[in-house]
Amino acid sequence: MTMTFANLALAPLLLQALAAEGYTSPTPIQAQSIPMLLQGRDMLGMAQTGTGKTAAFALPLLHRLAVNPRPAPKGGARVLVLAPTRELVSQIAAGFETFGRHLQPRVITIFGGVSQFHQVNALKEGVDIIVAAPGRLLDLIDQGLCDLSGLEALVLDEADQMLDMGFAKPIERIVATLPKDRHTLLFSATMPKSIAALAESLLHDPVKVEIAPPSTTVDRIEQSVMFLDAAHKKAALLALLQTPEIGQAVVFTLQKNIANEVCAFISEAGITAEALHGNKSQGQRERALDAFRAGTVQVLVATDIAARGIDVDTVTHVFNHDLPSLPESYVHRIGRTGRAGRSGFAITLCDAEQRAWLHDVEREIGRALTVQADHQWHSEDARHSTMRAPVLGGGPVKQIKPPKEPRERKVWTEEEKLAARRAAKVA
């Protein structure tokens, strides 16, 4: 018998919202997580992007609010969700609002890049759910503008990326302000030692739900690589984007200035494109994403800030104009396609300087990417390069020269010291 959401004993108002969205059967992570979370169990969830993680934690937390109605604590919230980027924060909040449409919970987002005025005003009377990036939330706590001592549930989503982005200390300081008697959920796509240690420190007798091994990629995504010189990347990318089978695409670059250059290059060729990176204002980022979701923009050119949290089912292709410096980021990048049961394509453009990073990616995913050699820019030099990976500032890693042998220190006698003083006086 096929499991349905109705089998999961969720509140009727949640089932109505799910039916209105056309959701009938839970994904594997939802089917395994929701019953445990309804029992109040702490959880460590391991799953790739695009598997339905947001609903896996949002539905049972909304159920908690529905069956235990109470005023939100002033200056704080009943539920806190931490996520690494503004885009993911906004997406999670939208999920809570969609699934909770008949419950009408008070949901606010907290992140940097915008004035804190509206965030602070919303907090004064208390809210049901805060979805926040760690940095801005900690700022508000330090200013005495947010009190989370009455929190009931904490969710850390994409915990591995938050640690990669340097949020370990902010998370630690935020958690120190929370009540120990709380419901805690941690979701991550990978399980490095740092995540295992974080889970050990935060979770009490957790249930572990693992949908796929953390280093595997989605089977339905066809992955390939083109070896070429760096100078030919833009031309090759444009040729790929102009092929008829391309629907919507996300292009990833390593640096913000390259994202701008690539976006301008393909826009001049008549392809609608927007750049998305950390130098864009929050308003610019939201407008770019809204246009992409609406389909009025065909290509989103982004740095890794968009590797997670961009949930657009119509993305057919992901292009890596540059390889990521962290191999696990590759998995999250290509997860922008092949969503909602669709097939997808991920094509990586690899030059000689980034060949070492490709090796790291292939080791991470446990397989070699299919080589596309039948194109005019193919470079055997890039394919067989043994160059070391570039540093993040650009350019190859410089060879560090061994330190020079220190000179032997002269030991002065008292007679020599006296003679030196006399000579100094003469001078």
DSSP secondary structure code for residue 340 in this structure = T
End position of a domain, from candidates 210, 232, 265: 210
SS3 assignment, position 393: coil
Residue 407 inside a domain? The answer is no
Alpha carbons 342 and 316: distance in angstroms, whole number: 8
Structural domain that includes position 342: 221-383
Listed in sequence order, the residues at least 6 apart from 419 whose beta carbon sits closer than 8 Å to its beta carbon are none
Please report which helix (H) or strand (E) contains residue 130, including its range: strand 127-132
User: Among 133, 58, 37, 154, which Cα is nearest to 103's?
Assistant: 58
- Has residue 12 got a pLDDT over 90? yes
Higher pLDDT, 333 or 267: 267
- Has residue 420 got a pLDDT over 60? no
**259 and 362, same structural domain?**
yes
Q: Kindly provide the residue ranges of all beta strands, DSSP E only, lying in 41-115, ordered along the sequence.
A: 43-46, 77-82, 107-110
**276 and 186, same structural domain?**
no
Alpha carbons 284 and 32: distance in angstroms, whole number: 38
Structure tokens at 179: 């009540």
Residue 391 inside a domain? The answer is no
Kindly tell me the burial class for residue 96, based on how many C-beta atoms sit within 10 Å of its own C-beta (0-12, 13-18, 19 or more): buried
- Has residue 135 got a pLDDT over 90? yes
**Segment 325-344 mean pLDDT:** 82
**258 and 358, same structural domain?**
yes
Instruction: Encode pLDDT of 267-323 as tens digits.
Output: 999 999 999 988 888 788 889 988 998 999 999 999 987 666 577 888 999 999 999
Higher pLDDT, 407 or 166: 166
- Has residue 416 got a pLDDT over 80? no
**254 and 177, same structural domain?**
no
Instruction: Encode pLDDT of 115-124 as tens digits.
Output: 999 999 999 9
- pLDDT band of 215, cuts 50, 70, 90: very low
Q: 379: domain CATH number?
A: 3.40.50.300
- pLDDT band of 390, cuts 50, 70, 90: low
Listed in sequence order, the residues at least 6 apart from 352 whose beta carbon sits closer than 8 Å to its beta carbon are 229, 230, 379, 381, 382, 385, 387
**288 and 320, same structural domain?**
yes
**Segment 385-391 mean pLDDT:** 73
Contact call for residues 54 and 128 (beta carbons, < 8 A): no
SS3 content of the chain, % helix, strand, coil (to 5): 40, 15, 40
Structure tokens at 413: 């006698």
- The tally of CA atoms less than 13 A away on the side-chain side of residue 193 is 0
Q: What is the pLDDT of residue 101?
A: 94
- Has residue 94 got a pLDDT over 60? yes
Q: What is the pLDDT of residue 212?
A: 62
Count of structural domains within the chain: 2
**Segment 217-246 mean pLDDT:** 91
Instruction: Encode pLDDT of 338-365 as tens digits.
Output: 876 678 999 999 999 999 999 999 988 8
Q: What is the pLDDT of residue 405?
A: 37
Alpha carbons 251 and 273: distance in angstroms, whole number: 10
**227 and 193, same structural domain?**
no
Alpha carbons 354 and 38: distance in angstroms, whole number: 46
Higher pLDDT, 389 or 172: 172
Instruction: Encode pLDDT of 37-63 as tens digits.
Output: 999 999 999 877 667 889 999 999 999
Q: What is the pLDDT of residue 285?
A: 85
Q: What is the pLDDT of residue 399?
A: 34
**Segment 250-255 mean pLDDT:** 95
SS3 assignment, position 276: strand
**177 and 49, same structural domain?**
yes
